[in-house]
Amino acid sequence: MIVIASIASNFATAVGVLGGMIAVVGFVAHAGPVLSGAPERKIREATVIGGVVGLSLGAAVIVLSAFVSRIIE
């Protein structure tokens, strides 16, 4: 039972990190075009690109965290 709880906890943490990175980087990426008065299409493109970059950064953080955790143990 403890192993399942540990896996569930790690999964929840990974989902939270990915969701947070997508939201934050997507928001930061679209802030510039919004403030400069860009058309809606450019704002959406910037948001999507920011979300993809956030997903990539979040995945890298998760992989590096798992790698370091494995080395330390």
Would residue 56 count as lying in a domain? Answer: yes
Q: Which tokens in the block code for residue 43?
A: 């704002």
* 20 found inside a domain: yes
Residue with tokens 């997508």: 22
Q: Confidence class of residue 1 from pLDDT cuts 50, 70 and 90? A: low
Q: Domain total for the chain? A: 1
By the 8 A CB rule, do 50 and 71 touch? Answer: no
pLDDT digits (tens, 9 = 90+) for 10-23: 889 899 999 999 99
Domain of residue 49 covers 12-72
d(CA 63, CA 57): 10
Q: What is the pTM of this model?
A: 0.83
Output b/e per residue, 20-53; b: 16+ Cβ within 10 A: ebbeebbeebbeebeeeeeeeeebeebbeebbeb
34-54 pLDDT per residue, tens:
999 999 999 999 999 999 999
